[in-house]
């Protein structure tokens, strides 16, 4: 049995046929839609590397079954910049050196964008750290990340 879904990814309509209902949004993005910016870390909802926005809300794409996303609007890290102009959160991450190896950075940025959109960030570092607690950084670049989100919130 196959499943046909249609979803919008970074503003583009995508019609997809799935042969396996267990395909995650993460694998769909990376392996079928040529969008490798979303990273696979734990693949079990524990690290946040795979964070995207689904209908404007933060989600771990490794936990979202693609088959359930018919009609959804998905935004990935590739969909943030406008041409040569970075999203303010992306620019703030650069300004504050908010990364070391960079593997978690797409998920951190997408989570920050969602947090700010939810009005949950404020410019309180403690609140930001709590709001971003689902996004792990093995290099422990948390100070720069928090400063970047603070800055982007202002």
Whole-angstrom Cα distance, residue 100 to residue 86? Answer: 19
**Whole-number minimum distance, CB 126 to ligand FES, in Å?**
23
- Residue 40 in the binding site for ligand FES (CB under 6 A): yes
Please list every residue from 9 through 38 that binds ligand FES, using CB under 6 A.
Answer: none
Give, for 7, the enclosing helix (H) or strand (E): strand 3-9
Q: Looking at the chain, how many residues does it have?
A: 154
In the bound state with ligand FES, the residue whose beta carbon lies nearer, of 51 and 147, is 51
Q: What x/- string results for residues 117 through 146 when contact with ligand FES is judged by CB under 6 A? A: ------------------------------
- Torsion on CA atoms 142, 51, 44, 103, rounded to nearest 10: -50
| Least separation in angstroms between CB 8 and ligand FES | 21
Phi-psi category of residue 116: left, alpha or beta, with phi > 0 → left and psi -120 to 50 → alpha = alpha
Distance in angstroms (rounded) separating the CA atoms of residues 107 and 112:
8
Tell me which residues in 58-97 interact with ligand FES (CB under 6 A): 60, 62
Q: Which residue is nearest to ligand FES (CB)?
A: 62
Binding site for ligand FES (CB under 6 A): 40-43, 45-50, 60, 62
């Amino acid at each position: 049995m196959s499943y046909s879904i249609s979803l919008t990814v970074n503003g583009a309509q995508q019609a997809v046929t799935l042969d396996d209902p267990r395909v995650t949004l993460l694998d769909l993005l990376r392996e079928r839609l040529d969008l490798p910016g979303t990273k696979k870390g734990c693949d079990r909802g524990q690290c946040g590397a795979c964070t995207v926005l689904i209908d404007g809300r933060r989600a771990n794409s490794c936990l979202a079954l693609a088959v359930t996303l018919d009609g959804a609007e998905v935004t990935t890290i590739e969909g943030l910049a406008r041409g040569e102009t970075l999203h303010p959160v992306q620019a703030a991450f650069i300004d504050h050196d908010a990364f070391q190896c960079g593997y978690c950075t797409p998920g951190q940025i997408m989570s920050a964008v969602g947090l700010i959109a939810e009005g949950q960030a404020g410019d309180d570092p403690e609140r930001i750290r709590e709001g971003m607690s689902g996004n792990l950084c093995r290099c422990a670049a948390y100070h720069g990340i928090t400063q970047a989100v603070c800055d982007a919130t202002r």
